């Protein structure tokens, strides 16, 4: 399992570099999905069983209830310092996907995150995105700057070479997105979850809500669609992934709606 060890070692190195520079001004962004839980597990490994930095959950208010349940369980078990980022104002004034998905994601996710960063003064965030999730994410760097407004300057990215990363920030308003999982593929995540016995949300398995269906990617309740599947165990999921021709985020509505939606979202500070 040398290959898995290589993936793991690289991610841990990146996590440790980020911590070294930012200490508790670094936060871990989790959605409680398979990727962020894997990343959180790696953070625990990097710090010998502990998660020494705050864990931020962007709560859109439209999350699936199993996500909230899973969050409670893990926060207790792993002794996490949990911060919930929620755009209460937008929710009070009735924001929702019916207002347009670009608008909703921007208000309830991106804005909520921006407010949280400001409130706590975070300078860097560990985010579990991967290159194979979306072609726009494939353009990312391991350490990626965001402006004071949270914008991604994709046309001005700094070079990253080998094991050398740009960890310094100049402008006090900027923050850094750190992506330790960029080089992991969907199937790598599941194989690692199996190897390490990482707890995952039951929604990923068939029958959690409806027989014959499972969620391959977990977004908010109104914007995530399950896929037809009978995979009830991790082994069955891995087998399914080995043969599928369907993209992981096929059930994620905000990825499809408008052309270049993902690019627009990310340029505004999305994950």
Contacting positions for another protein (CB under 8 A): 2, 5-6, 8-10, 12-13, 16-17, 19-20, 44-49, 131-132, 134-136, 138-139, 141, 154-155, 157-164, 166-168, 185, 245-247, 250, 256, 259-260, 263
Distance of closest approach, residue 249 Cβ to another protein, in angstroms = 8
The two beta strands, 213-214 and 227-228, are antiparallel
Distance of closest approach, residue 235 Cβ to another protein, in angstroms = 19
Q: Please, which residue, 44 or 232, has the CB nearer to another protein?
A: 44
* Total residue length of the chain: 271
Distance of closest approach, residue 227 Cβ to another protein, in angstroms = 12
What are the tokens at 190?
Answer: 């599941």
Distance of closest approach, residue 159 Cβ to another protein, in angstroms = 4
Q: Please, which residue, 12 or 82, has the CB nearer to another protein?
A: 12
Q: Give the three-state DSSP class for 25.
A: helix
C-alpha dist (Å) from residue 164 to 26, 123, 168: 19, 19, 12
CA distance 237 to 218: 15
Q: Please, which residue, 92 or 170, has the CB nearer to another protein?
A: 170
Q: Please, which residue, 12 or 268, has the CB nearer to another protein?
A: 12
Q: Please, which residue, 125 or 241, has the CB nearer to another protein?
A: 241
CA distance 178 to 159: 15
Most distant CA atoms of the chain, gap in Å: 52
Are residues 236 and 99 in contact, defined by beta-carbon separation less than 8 angstroms? no
Q: Please, which residue, 91 or 238, has the CB nearer to another protein?
A: 238
Q: Please, which residue, 160 or 221, has the CB nearer to another protein?
A: 160
Distance of closest approach, residue 262 Cβ to another protein, in angstroms = 8
Distance of closest approach, residue 129 Cβ to another protein, in angstroms = 13
- Residue 144 CA to chain centroid, in angstroms? 15
Distance of closest approach, residue 9 Cβ to another protein, in angstroms = 5
CA distance from start to end of the chain = 30
CA distance 41 to 74: 11
CA distance 152 to 146: 5
Q: Which residues are within 8 A (CB) of 103 and not within 5 positions of it... i.e. 6 or more apart? A: 95
């Amino acid at each position: 399992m040398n290959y898995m060890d290589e993936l793991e070692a690289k991610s841990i190195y990146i996590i440790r570099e980020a911590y070294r520079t930012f200490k508790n001004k670094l936060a871990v962004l989790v959605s409680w999905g398979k990727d962020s839980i894997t990343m959180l597990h790696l953070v625990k490994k990097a710090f010998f069983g502990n998660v020494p930095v705050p864990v931020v959950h962007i709560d859109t208010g439209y999350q699936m209830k199993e996500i909230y349940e899973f969050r409670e369980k893990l926060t207790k078990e792993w002794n996490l310092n949990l911060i919930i980022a929620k755009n209460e104002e937008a929710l009070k004034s009735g924001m929702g996907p019916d207002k347009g998905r670009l608008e909703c994601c921007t208000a309830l996710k991106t804005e909520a995150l921006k407010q949280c960063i400001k409130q706590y003064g975070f300078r860097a965030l560990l985010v579990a995105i991967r290159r194979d999730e979306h072609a726009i994410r494939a353009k990312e760097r391991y350490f990626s700057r965001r402006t004071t407004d949270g914008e991604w300057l994709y046309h001005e990215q700094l070079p990253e070479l080998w094991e050398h990363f740009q960890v310094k920030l100049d402008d006090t308003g900027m923050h850094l997105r750190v992506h330790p999982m960029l080089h992991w593929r969907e199937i790598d995540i599941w194989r690692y979850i199996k190897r390490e016995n990482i707890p995952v949300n039951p929604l990923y398995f068939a029958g959690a809500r409806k027989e014959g269906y499972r969620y391959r990617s977990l977004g908010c309740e109104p914007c995530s669609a399950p896929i037809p599947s009978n995979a009830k165990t991790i082994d069955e999921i891995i087998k399914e992934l080995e043969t599928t021709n369907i993209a992981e985020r096929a059930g994620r509505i905000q990825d499809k709606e408008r052309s270049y939606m993902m690019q627009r979202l990310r340029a505004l500070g999305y994950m």
